[in-house]
Every structure is written in C-alpha cells, then in structure tokens.
Amino acid sequence: MAAKLTLDKFRLMWLLEGAVGKSHLRWDIYDMFVNDVFPQLSEDEREFIYAYAKRDLSWHFEGEYVDETPHEYFKQMLARYNPANQYNVTVQNDEETKTVEAYLWNGRYYVGWTNYCAPEYIVEAIHMPFKLCGNLYCASRVKCLRYREQIHEGEKELKGTRLFACEKCDLIIEQIENKDNNNK
C-alpha cells in the first residue's frame, strides 16, 4: 500500500529541505517535485517554492566539499519552478503535432525530470509570459529580466512585500537572457 499525502506549500518546503544535499537515497525528491508536485500547484504556490528554495536552500551547495550531483539536481528542480523559464513547445512527427509545457535545462526542453523533447521534432518553442518580480530588495534586480520588464502589457506585479535579498537572483533567467542576446 502506498501512502497519499496532502501537503501545503510550507510542508512541501520542509520536505524539500529535509532532502536537499543529503544522501543519494533522498535525491529522488527532486524528481518528485518536478513530475508529481509541480503539476498540482497554482502559479503562486510554484513562485513560493521557487523563491524560498532558491533563497533558503542554496547555501547547502556552498563550500569546497560540495557534491556536484545533488547541486545539479537542485538547479534542475529550480529551472522547473522558475516562472521565467516556462515554454510551450510544439513537436511534430509523421503522425501528429502536439504542444507541451516544458522548461529549459542544459539546452533541452524538458517535460519531466528525465523526459525532454527531441530537438529534431521541435517545430516551435514559445516563451510563456511571466509576472514582473516585486523584490525591491534584491541585490541583483537590475540584471534580472523579471524585475526589469514585463512580457505582456497589462501583466500585474506580484502581490505582497518581498523583504528578502537574493544575491544570486535568477541565475537561470540571466543565462537565458544572455543566450537570447547572443542569438540576435
């Protein structure tokens, strides 16, 4: 028998914190957060997980004795939750055309933890709109795409006061922005 749990966003963070950077026996938590948890959450809950995981859990991967494998897993999970890293990808083979929600990771459009769209079948990848970040205290806000611009006119700013500072503000977003600028 398998247990089924209903966890709110705070308990999800406690679960994630218990697994981050620990034994390889716990690394499948990232798979679970990408494949099982992400689809069940609202946009605001995903934003919460992303912001707090990036802010409160990144320190586990600092120092000279950091194991790179769980750090890469953590960064991939953050890529899934990153609001500015979501795409609608249209793939086509001989039989059908399908559009899927994906996230960009290591140059591939992933639809799950290990499943990605085969590049030869990708017809189009459209960057999904995201909300303007309201983190006025972020140390890197001038470099952050989410802080500087809104994708669609009329998109509202995130609600609530953000009283935290994030030294590594949206590193993944910054990489995407640089890649986009280099392709122009």
Place of tokens 């992303």: 50
Alpha-carbon distances of 160 from 44, 49, 51, rounded to whole Å: 11, 15, 13
- The pLDDT tens digits for 7-46 are 999 899 999 988 886 777 777 899 999 999 999 999 889 9
**pLDDT band at residue 143, thresholds of 50, 70 and 90?**
low
- The pLDDT tens digits for 90-139 are 999 989 999 999 999 999 999 999 999 999 999 999 988 876 665 555 55
- pLDDT for 2 equals 80
**pLDDT band at residue 87, thresholds of 50, 70 and 90?**
very high
- pLDDT for 180 equals 47
Q: Rounded to whole angstroms, how far apart are CA atoms 9 and 29?
A: 15
Q: Up-side HSE of residue 42: CA atoms within 13 Å toward CB?
A: 4
